[in-house]
Amino acid sequence: MTCFSASSPKCSAWLLVAMVGLAGAPAGASAQAPVTAAPVSTTPELEQLLARFAAMSGLSAKFREEKRMALLAAPLVNEGMLYFAPKGRLVRHITAPAPATVLIDEGSLRFADAGGSETLSLTQSPVLRLFVDSFVKIFAGDRVALERMYTMELQALPAGADGVARWSLRLRPRVAPMTQIIERLEIVGHEVALESMRVVEVGGDETITTFSEVDTGRRFTAEELTALFRLPGQR
Amino acid sequence: MAVATGRVARALLGWLLLVGLAALCWSRMAVTTDITHFMADESDARLAGISRQLAQSELTRTIVLSVQAEGDDPAPALAAARRLGEALAGHPEVAWLRTGPGPIDGEAIHAVYFPRRHHLLDDPKDRLSDAGLRAAAVALKQELGRPTGAIVKRVAPADPLLLYPQQLRRLEAARAGGLEVVDGQFLGDGRHALVLLATRRSPFDAAAQAPLQAAIKTAGSALGEGVTLEQSGVARFALAAEHSMRADISRISTVSLVGLVLLFALMFASPRLIALALLPLLAGVLAALAACLLLFGTVHGLTLAFGATLIGVCIDYSVHLFNHYLLAPAPGGPEASARRMSAGLWLGGLTTIAGFAGLAWTSFPGLREVAVFASVGVLTAVVATRYWLPSMLPMRARPGRLAVLAAAGLGRVVVRLRGGRARGSLLALPIAAVIAAAIGVPRISFSDDIKLLTSTDPEMLAEDERVRGRVARMDSGRFVVAIGSGPDLAAAEEAALVSNDAVFAALTAARSAGELAEFRSLHSFVRSAAAQRASLAALQEPGLPARLDAAFVAEGFRAGSFAGLFADMSSGPGPLRPADLAGTPLGELVRSFRVELAGDQPTVAVLSLLRGVSDGAALRGRLAAAPGSHYFDQAEAMATAYAGYRARTLELVLFGLVGVFALVLLRYRRLGVALAAFAPAVLAAGATLGVLAMCGVGIGLLHVVALLLVLSMGVDYGVFLAESRGDPEGFTATLLSVVIACLSTVLAFGLLAMSASPALRAIGVTVGLGVLLSLVLAPVAMLLGERGER
């Protein structure tokens, strides 16, 4: 993770931590790690689903993300490709409306777009780590971590036109400060392929991401890992 | 009986005084190697004051330790740096130690800056124009699309211009100081884990820094195989300089004394006489040291080293007395011999003091100290030789065989030279000296490099530069200062901050133009109250809410979303002042930018630290737009000051020479004799300068100071010879004294010429050469003068 030097991305740990205070987190939240709750037991079906996620060799998918905000008259739309590799590496390469990349790995969240690049340390910000984990752990199928952060409810949905059984997984945060920011996540899929993810924030804003051309058996060569899981211009 | 009692009483009194001086020196001894002693303390006094304060500031007291492990993975280096930090953090000399920027107290920062966000707008004219508002709307939309959008969204209704997040980014960059942070630790060049620490006391305080340096070395060697530790900091250089100076002083004093003892053993062949010969010197050095300690509180290492050279001057007096007492004794014993040569002793001593006294009018504290040291030392040596030494000499004594042979040999040479045929050879020497001066002096090039005062180990310097490169440290010797004065401290601070705002703009432009690489400014933390009020006033412009809404709606935002920006504008706290940051995590950083100066009215200086200035002249040109600001390049300023002080010291030397000639003329009342005593010293000094110039040596301040010694000793030789001109035996004895005196001087200064310190080398070479020329020219002038009289 690189920060601060003149030619490399800026590190905004302060930005995040200081602004969490503005985000309505309780006093002291920015300086302290989130309080974890005792895990809640999951149903066998959910355990099975998460186990299948955990067994994935990797994931690639096209995505379309719509951010609907009270501030904006029309949603912000991003489109691109998403890749997930085991051990928690996730990258989104946005191709429209403007190129941008978001990369998450063990220690950091990095993003780059036309306006520059930024690196956020997950080790320095337990709150940020919590937000990141809330998405990455789903792809990783990390049941234990998900049980600490969410109450989860799995429901069966009517089969699609191809006759394949579909499911809906609803997650509600249990841990502060997530509970002040996110109301719920709703994930819809079939087998281990995600169809959509909807994040509903406290206050009503929501982000809906739809997935297509999902490959849940994606295997990455060493060259692909290097080429795909990096920011543009980074060696 | 009464005479004997009187002798014993004088001897005892002398010993008592000597012991008293030694006790005083022992109890108050304090040596400094602080180079600021040789900095100006007049003209541009404010800048010199700031420079001196910077020399004691946290910037100078900070040491950077760089830890590197084998391989490209920085993890082992980071772990080693943590262990190093743990080992050193508890050391009593460590004021603070950091391996990383430390935990972030977001709430404290939020409490200070968010309510004051309306004061944070810079360039309101551009940013609040229609185009500026549209750009702000585009920027906000871009932020909302990023992963951090969820958090920015919560700030945006009250801060659509993102004034607070921008301020946080400025603080972040300033706090990290341009350093990379990995897992909470500083990392340079991707491989070197860094530990920053500041010492409690000055880096020039060798006694305080030595234990810490030893602890760093010990902790470094415990880091394990394959881990290297490097260091950057002023303290190590200061300590090395101090060790070098102490080693020089010790070596020169020891070897000089041993050499003198051997020389005296050969000449006087009496252990008692050898011991007695050194007493006036000892008294002179102790008295000089005591005077400096009482007047100044400390004595500089360079003064001590210079004082060690007083051996060469003070020993001349006892040698002169001994030679006369042994080779041409006056009836009545040693006191009578001392009485007979009293005039010569006093004149020699006073002419030396007259030469040095002129230095007391310089503006260098260090040179004033040298003037006091030399004057008191010489005066005490003369008094001791005239009144104390004779009381301890035996009533009868025989010269050593070598002294007798040497005196006889010199006598034969004098007789030959007094013969008519030797006139040509006599004239050849002064003519050669005149030619050397005439050719060389016009070629003199002056060198005013401050580096002449210290020598630097090239390996240590290279290591320091490597580590500095990793941390992108600001140059400690270059800064811009914005100075403000006022009826009270608050007004002075505001005036300085107003100037600093303009400095910031100038430095930003300079950086963009490539005139400097980087700078750090207090502006990142706090601006002038005037600028902050201007920001608030701009946001209170009546038409702004509507224009802002229109601009943001045009970019897709809902109308009325940003009324929160204007809702609490009037009820917020007032402009931020530096004092408001005192209790926050930023207090320590802010403190280092602000300096209060002594003056007729309250004055505050705000510093901007620079790195990589490539065009000082262009930078000065830009700073013309910032009234109250000054660009200070310490090396350049000291070189200019040195040039000024070199010229001034030369004037003082010449002024001193006039005083010396006046004294000599007053004594002899005949121009020929006076010139014979005085001119050889001046000619020797001129020829010395000429030879140095012909050898390409740049003449600096210390060469000029060394010339004073040449003139002093040269005039001493001339005066001693003039006093003995009517007495053939006395003349021979004096000539032997002059030869021994010259040998002892060349011994002492020859050692200085081999010193590691460029300063001491300059003095050694100048004095060694000058005194040798005086030895040759003084007797020649006296003999030529005798011919003239006949």
Q: What confidence tens digit (pLDDT) does each residue in A126-156 have?
A: 667 777 887 788 888 888 888 888 899 988 8
Report how far residue B99's alpha carbon sits from residue B65's, in angstroms, rounded to the nearest whole number: 10
Q: Is the pLDDT of residue B103 over 70?
A: no
How many CB atoms lie under 10 A from the CB of residue B291?
21
Q: What is the pLDDT of residue A39?
A: 47
B586 burial (CB, 10 Å; 0-12 / 13-18 / 19+) is: buried
In chain B, what residues touch A73 (CB-CB under 8 Å)? 553, 556-558
Nearest to A23 among B109, B146, B151 (CB): B151
Model confidence at B47, pLDDT cuts 50, 70, 90, reads low
Q: What is the mean pLDDT of chain B?
A: 83
Shortest distance between the Cα of B551 and any Cα of chain A, in A, equals 13
pTM: 0.68
CA-nearest of B289, B293, B282 to B306 is B289
Distance CA B711, CA B660 (A): 10
Q: What is the pLDDT of residue A4?
A: 23
- Average pLDDT (A75-96) is 91
Which 3 state secondary structure label does DSSP give A220?
coil
Q: Is the pLDDT of residue B427 over 90?
A: no
More confident position, B35 or B163: B163
The pLDDT-based confidence of B445 (bands split at 50, 70, 90) is confident
Interface residue B173 vs chain A (CB under 8 A): yes
Cβ of B172 within 8 Å of Cβ of A4? The answer is: yes
pLDDT exceeds 60 at position B572: yes
Task: Using the predicted structure, report yes or no on whether residue B363 has a pLDDT greater than 70.
Answer: no
ipTM of the complex: 0.83
Flag whether residue B114 sits within 8 Å of chain A, measured between CB atoms: yes
Per the CB < 8 Å rule, is B172 touching A22? no
Query: Would you state the pLDDT for residue A5?
Result: 26
Contacts of A13 in chain B (CB under 8 A): 104, 172, 181
List of chain A residues whose C-beta atoms are within 8 Å of the C-beta of residue B524: none
How close, in Å, is residue B187 to chain A by CA atoms? 9
- Using 50, 70 and 90 to split pLDDT, how confident is the model at A27? very low
**Given pLDDT bands bounded at 50, 70 and 90, which one contains residue B311?**
low
Would you call A126 an interface residue with chain B, using a CB distance cutoff of 8 Å? no
Instruction: Nearest by CB to A123, from B110, B157, B184: name it.
Output: B184
Answer whether B72 touches A (CB < 8 Å): no
What's the CA gap between B563 and A37, in Å, rounded?
38
**Closest residue in chain B to residue A102, using alpha carbons only:** B147
Phi, psi angle pair for B398, to nearest 5°: -115, 140
CB < 8 Å to A10, chain B: 169, 172-173
Per-residue pLDDT at A37: 47
- As a whole-number percent, the residues of chain B with pLDDT over 70 amount to 88
A11 touches chain B (CB under 8 A): yes
Closest chain A C-alpha to B532 CA, distance in angstroms: 22
B710 and A CB contact within 8 Å:
no
Of A204-208, B286-290, B343-347, B410-414, the least confident = B410-414
Backbone angles phi, psi at B517, to 5 degrees: -80, -45
Say yes or no for a CB contact (<8 Å) between A10 and B173: yes
Residues 56-115 of A with CB under 8 A from B: 67, 69-74, 76, 78, 100, 102, 107, 109, 111, 113-115
Closest-CA residue of chain B to A5:
B178
Using the predicted structure, report yes or no on whether residue B607 has a pLDDT greater than 70.
Answer: yes
Q: Nearest Cβ partner of B154 from A12, A24, A76?
A: A24
Residues of chain A in contact with residue B104, where contact means CB-CB under 8 angstroms, are 13-14, 17-18, 30-31, 124
Which tokens belong to B480?
């811009």
Q: Which residues of A124-145 are buried (b: 16+ CB within 10 A; e: fewer)?
A: bbebbbbbbbbbbbbbbbbbeb
Helix, strand or coil, per DSSP, at residue B198: strand
How, if at all, do strands B192-199 and B94-98 pair? antiparallel
Find the CB nearest A22 among B104, B155, B558.
Answer: B155
Contact (CB<8Å) B172/A15 = yes
Q: What is the DSSP string of B552-599?
A: HHHTTBPTTTTTHHHHTTTTS-----GGGGTTSTTHHHHHTTEEEE-S
For the record, the structure tokens of B447 come out as 């060198």
pLDDT score of B583? 78
**A186-218: per-residue pLDDT in tens?**
999 988 888 999 999 888 999 999 999 999 888
Helices (H), B695-757: 701-723, 728-752
Each residue's pLDDT tens digit, B392-414: 988 877 777 888 888 888 878 77
Q: What is the pLDDT of residue B673?
A: 84
Would you call B142 an interface residue with chain A, using a CB distance cutoff of 8 Å? Answer: yes
* Residue B172 sits at the chain A interface (C-beta within 8 Å): yes
Q: Is A201 on the interface with B (CB under 8 A)?
A: yes
B249 versus B453: which is more confidently predicted?
A: B249
Q: Which chain B residue has the Cα nearest residue A3?
A: B180
